[in-house]
Amino acid sequence: MEPDIAVELHTRARAKGLKYAAVIGDDDSSSIAHIKQKVNLELVKYSDIGHVKRNVRSKLENVQKCHKALTAKVRDSFLKNFTYAVKQNADKSEREMICALQTMVPHMYGEHGNCGEWCRSRGGADAGHRNLPFVTPLKDTHLKISLENLQAPYIINADK
């Protein structure tokens, strides 16, 4: 949402006795700062899944430059798992969202001890990873660290 549009909407809402408590939008910090300044300093900003997916994809493409193991198939699998985790836990508690995001990378590496009911390999059964190359878990530990670092800010801000 453009800052000027938000301010205009706020002006109209104030005339009707309404107050804004939150806004959903992209991760443009200058727009949010402008809106908070003009509308409400306590305004909470939530990210929409479309912008979050685009940002994650962009970060994955940057990680891919350093890690040959991050093929297009692995990148797409990570993005798919990330999207599922966010969408399936959107109406649940912040703790459940955090747990879902924290189990993603270990799941891709064959560590299923903390996976939820969605995981076919939970409980020791080897169901394979249909979305990964050769249907096997990832092995590159440097890539694992990069993927965990990539998703850390999303875990920290799971409530948004």
Condensed to tens digits (0 to 9), the pLDDT of residues 57-86 reads: 989 999 999 898 889 998 998 999 899 888
Indicate if 64 and 91 belong to the same structural domain. Answer: yes
Indicate if 71 and 124 belong to the same structural domain. Answer: yes
Indicate if 42 and 91 belong to the same structural domain. Answer: no
> What is the pLDDT at residue 25?
56
Indicate if 138 and 91 belong to the same structural domain. Answer: yes
Degrees, nearest 5: CA angle 101-72-89: 20
SS3 percent helix, strand, coil of the chain, rounded to 5, is 60, 5, 35
Condensed to tens digits (0 to 9), the pLDDT of residues 90-120 reads: 888 889 889 999 988 998 888 878 887 777 7
Contact 80, 87 (CB under 8 A): no
Number of domains in the chain: 2
Indicate if 77 and 149 belong to the same structural domain. Answer: yes
> What is the pLDDT at residue 61?
92
C-alpha distances in angstroms, 38 versus 4, 12, 35?
9, 13, 5
Indicate if 110 and 64 belong to the same structural domain. Answer: yes
Residue 42 has pLDDT above 70, yes or no: no
Indicate if 81 and 139 belong to the same structural domain. Answer: yes
How many helices and strands (H and E) does the chain possess? 6, 2
Enumerate the H helices of 39-158 as residue ranges. 49-64, 72-88, 94-108, 141-156
Q: Tokens 């020791």 appear where?
A: 124
Find the domain containing 23 and state its range. 3-47
Indicate if 77 and 152 belong to the same structural domain. Answer: yes
